[in-house]
Structures are given as C-alpha cells and as structure tokens.
Amino acid sequence: MTAQTLTDLLEAGVAGRTVLIRSDLNVPLDGQTVTDDGRIRASAPAIKELADAGARVVVMAHLGRPQGEPDPKYSLAPVAARLGEVLGTDVQLAADVTGEDARAKAAALADGQVLLLENVRFDARETSKDAAERGELAREMADLAGADGAYVGDAFGAVHRAHASVADIAALLPAHQGPLVATELEVLTRLTESPERPYVVVLGGSKVSDKLAVIDNLLEKADTLLIGGGMLFTFLKAQGHEVGASLLEEDQLDTVKGYLERSGKDAAEIVLPTDIVMASAFAKDAEHEVLPVDALTTGAHGAEALGLDIGPETAKDFAARIAGAKTVFWNGPMGVFEFPAFAEGTRAVAQALTEATADGGLSVVGGGDSAAAVRSLGFEDSQFGHISTGGGASLEYLEGKELPGVTALTRQEA
C-alpha cells in the first residue's frame, strides 16, 4: 500500500477546507525562549504550503512529557510565537486541545489562517494505552476539521508512538504523508537498504543500552562503527581497561563483548577511542588531561577521574574515517559538548561530516542531541546532507521496528 502525500492533497485542492497537520514542535526551552528552533523551521514549509493554498490550518503538536494534564511549563505559547515569526504570519494558540476554545477558534478560522492547538499531551487520552480512549480524542480532533477535512502527518519524531494525534486520527480523515516524514523515510531507507560505500556509522551519547538494537542491526549493514560518548567506557571496560569514575553500564558488558567478538569478521569493524579527555569532575571548569585508554586512571585524579570527551588523536582518526566515507550516519555526541572544554571531539566529527558532504557523500545527523550539538557549535544545517527530526523514531526505524504513525499513513491506497 502506498501513502497519499501533501502534494496529492494540494493538487486535490484545499481552499476553504480545514486541514489538521501533526507537526513535531518539541523544541528545547529556556523559560519562555526557544533555544533551538530547528524543528520549528523544518515543520514550517508544509504549514505554509497549506496556508498559502487557502487551507484553514490546525496544527497539532506536543512539548515535553506533561502528565496528561495542563502544565504551564509545557505550554506551546513560546512555540506559537516563534512559529509565527518563521511563517511571517499570526499563529493563534488554542487554550486547550479539543475543548471549547479549540472548537471556537477552529470554527472561526478564515482561509489561509493558522491555529496551533495547545500541547496534545495535556489530554491524557493522547498517550493512553486504551485504544478506545485514544479513538475518542481522535474523533474530537477530526471533528475540528469538519466533513471536508483532511489530515497530514508530518511529525516524524513522533511516528514511533501509537498516539491519538499520530496514528488514530489517520483512520478518521483522508490521511496524507507530510514532506518531513517522506524525506526521513527516503533517507533511512538508503541507510538500511542501499548505502553507498564506504558506510561509516558514528554512535555516541551516554548509554549503550539505548542503542543495543541499532548496533545489532547496523553491524550487519555498515562497514565501520565509530564509538564515542559515555557509551564508549562500557566498550573499553569490556576490553579490560580501567575507566575510573566514567559512565559505565556493568550489566551490558557481556553484550558489548559479543559485539567486539563479531567486529571485523562477518560484521562491521568497531573502532574505539585510543585516548580520552579525563576530568576531575562533571563541570564546565573541571581540571582535565588527555590520557591513553590503557592508562585512564594513572593521571592526576587517579580512579576518581571521569571521561568527558574523546581525545585529540581519536578525533583525528574518526574525522579521517568519516571524511573518506560515501555514507555516514551519526547519532550521539562524542562528549559533553555543552562544556567548551569537552566539545572538541563532537566538533571534529561534525566538521568531518561536512567534508564528506562536500565530497558528494551522504551525511545524516541523527537528530536529538546530535542536531543540537552541530547548531550550538556554529554549523549550518545546509552543511550536512540531512539533519533528522526523528530522534527516537529514526533509531527505531534503524532497528527494523514498525512505526505506527507511518503504518497509519499507508492504510489507504493512493
């Protein structure tokens, strides 16, 4: 079965119709200030296309993880303001999800106007495990669109969730795949089914346990896996190295040993750091030094030292491998990039991805912390082949899992 697309919807005509669009506007906030508007900017084009074509656009989105009830710190008010700036038009914000204010504002929309519903997770039915409860909320959402309404699923970052605004709603209105979802699926399909080689995967972040299934799957598909971030210390410990007070998942050592045994045989080569930036504490101004991996506890802070970044020799090695690749997928920073002293490993990886892109390769930044890192370090989105808006959804796709939001959009024949 194939999915109807936003293009199909626009060709059918949307002037005067109410179109519900599920967008991914889950952005980081500092109080009332959006600190990284990447997802807003990525979501805006589809919303603008609909509005410019005369649709009455009702945007649905979530922010954070409120506990199924209104919580001011998770209000979409700052998002509505920033979305309006990006679109160059006023974006109204409903005070609720499908309540009296949402119904009134949706009914009063004129052609080309945009309404953002309040955080869909303020309604406990959005994430309920009870299909009937989710279905009830989805029906209320569909009612906002009326008899001639339509639905566009454009929140790839949420398609791994069987939520009312992601999956259930698609059964109630003519459903269409948004451009972000379509692009993500195209890129991820290339990564899993037809990557141009050499194919290098860079994995970082704090925990091995978060990426077990991804490692399992990509070991069979990639040529090289470069391991950084906090997860690297479980790999080093599995090799017999002392890692001091660094992040360690003892319960994953046997699993990691299994990966290392497979490395370079009938699977991808796993490449680990050769040097680490070891610090006295998890702090921006912590004293630190570079030590080889076989001597991480021999420095000034002994067994109390903890690793906060890959070392310069490792960064150089990783960068060379990435720059020479034809396909690169990166998920997870190499160190604590929020602290300048421990951001150089992540910076080196990001720079290498831009070079691979410039040489005609496909470079994919896997969303989440990786996307936040490249922007905070001063890189432009255009320097990379693709910056995912998916985060967890991208990882689940790479694990080979079915994504409920994608399945829901392919129920109808084009």
CATH number at residue 247: 3.40.50.1260
Domain boundary among 113, 147, 177: 177
CA pair distance 354, 377, nearest whole angstrom: 13
Give the predicted TM-score (pTM) of the model: 0.86
The count of other CB atoms within 10 Å of the CB of residue 158 is 29
pLDDT at 11 over 90: yes
Number of domains in the chain: 2
Whether residue 122 lies inside any domain: the answer is yes
Instruction: Assign 411 a pLDDT band (cuts: 50, 70, 90).
Output: low
Instruction: Assign 96 a pLDDT band (cuts: 50, 70, 90).
Output: very high
The mean pLDDT value of the chain amounts to: 94
The count of other CB atoms within 10 Å of the CB of residue 322 is 26
Helix (H, G, I), strand (E, B), or coil: what is residue 400?
coil
What pLDDT does residue 211 have? 87
Helix (H, G, I), strand (E, B), or coil: what is residue 282?
coil
Helical segments of 63-115, H only: 77-87, 100-107
Residues making up the binding site for substrate: 24-26, 39, 62-65, 121, 161
Assess whether 151 and 201 both reside in one domain: no
Q: Has 229 been annotated as catalytic?
A: no
Q: How far is CA 74 from CA 28, 116, 122, 160, 189, in A?
A: 10, 14, 9, 21, 34
Q: Considering the candidates 207, 221, 257, 262, report the single residue annotated as catalytic.
A: 207
What pLDDT does residue 173 have? 97
What confidence tens digit (pLDDT) does each residue in 148-166 have?
999 999 999 999 999 999 9
Assess whether 194 and 231 both reside in one domain: yes
Alpha-carbon Rg for the chain in angstroms = 23
CA pair distance 118, 101, nearest whole angstrom: 10
Question: Residue 328 is inside which H or E element, if any?
Answer: strand 327-331
Q: Considering the candidates 230, 368, 385, 405, report the single residue annotated as catalytic.
A: 368
Whether residue 285 lies inside any domain: the answer is yes
The DSSP call for residue 361 is -
396 vs 259 pLDDT, higher one: 259
Assess whether 166 and 205 both reside in one domain: no
CA pair distance 215, 290, nearest whole angstrom: 28
Residues making up the binding site for (2R)-3-phosphoglycerate: 39, 121, 161
Whether residue 21 lies inside any domain: the answer is yes
Whether residue 412 lies inside any domain: the answer is no
Q: Has 391 been annotated as catalytic?
A: no
Assess whether 282 and 190 both reside in one domain: yes
The DSSP call for residue 280 is S
- State the average pLDDT over residues 179-203: 93
Percent of the chain with pLDDT over 90: 84
The DSSP call for residue 326 is S
Domain boundary among 177, 211, 245: 177
What confidence tens digit (pLDDT) does each residue in 194-225 have?
899 999 999 998 888 888 888 988 999 999 99
pLDDT at 243 over 70: yes
Assess whether 224 and 321 both reside in one domain: yes
Assess whether 145 and 190 both reside in one domain: no
Contacts 24+ apart (CB under 8 A), 104-110: 106/18, 106/56, 106/58, 106/144, 106/145, 109/18, 109/56, 109/57, 109/58, 110/56
Q: Has 73 been annotated as catalytic?
A: no
What pLDDT does residue 414 have? 36
Helix (H, G, I), strand (E, B), or coil: what is residue 291?
strand
Assess whether 15 and 61 both reside in one domain: yes
Q: Considering the candidates 17, 22, 39, 347, report the single residue annotated as catalytic.
A: 39
Domain boundary among 177, 197, 226: 177
pLDDT at 248 over 70: yes
**Bridge partners, residue 278, by sequence:** 289, 307
Q: Has 207 been annotated as catalytic?
A: yes
CA pair distance 299, 214, nearest whole angstrom: 34
Whether residue 404 lies inside any domain: the answer is no
What pLDDT does residue 1 have? 57
Whether residue 410 lies inside any domain: the answer is no
CA pair distance 353, 362, nearest whole angstrom: 9
The count of other CB atoms within 10 Å of the CB of residue 414 is 11
**Bridge partners, residue 18, by sequence:** 56
Assess whether 150 and 284 both reside in one domain: no
Tokens matching residue 44: 């805006």
CA pair distance 330, 368, nearest whole angstrom: 11
CA pair distance 103, 136, nearest whole angstrom: 15
Assess whether 212 and 304 both reside in one domain: yes
pLDDT at 74 over 80: yes
Tokens matching residue 315: 């960064």
CA pair distance 132, 136, nearest whole angstrom: 6
Residue 392: Cβ-neighbour burial (10 angstroms; 0-12, 13-18, 19+): middle
Instruction: Assign 392 a pLDDT band (cuts: 50, 70, 90).
Output: confident
What pLDDT does residue 412 have? 45
pLDDT at 413 over 60: no
Assess whether 161 and 304 both reside in one domain: no
Residues making up the binding site: 24-26, 39, 62-65, 121, 161, 211, 307, 338, 367-370
Whether residue 407 lies inside any domain: the answer is no
Q: Which domain holds residue 301?
A: 185-399
Q: How far is CA 389 from CA 35, 318, 371, in A?
A: 16, 24, 8
Are the beta carbons of 201 and 218 closer than 8 angstroms?
Answer: yes
240 vs 398 pLDDT, higher one: 240
Assess whether 121 and 226 both reside in one domain: no
Assess whether 335 and 199 both reside in one domain: yes
Whether residue 405 lies inside any domain: the answer is no
pLDDT at 78 over 90: yes
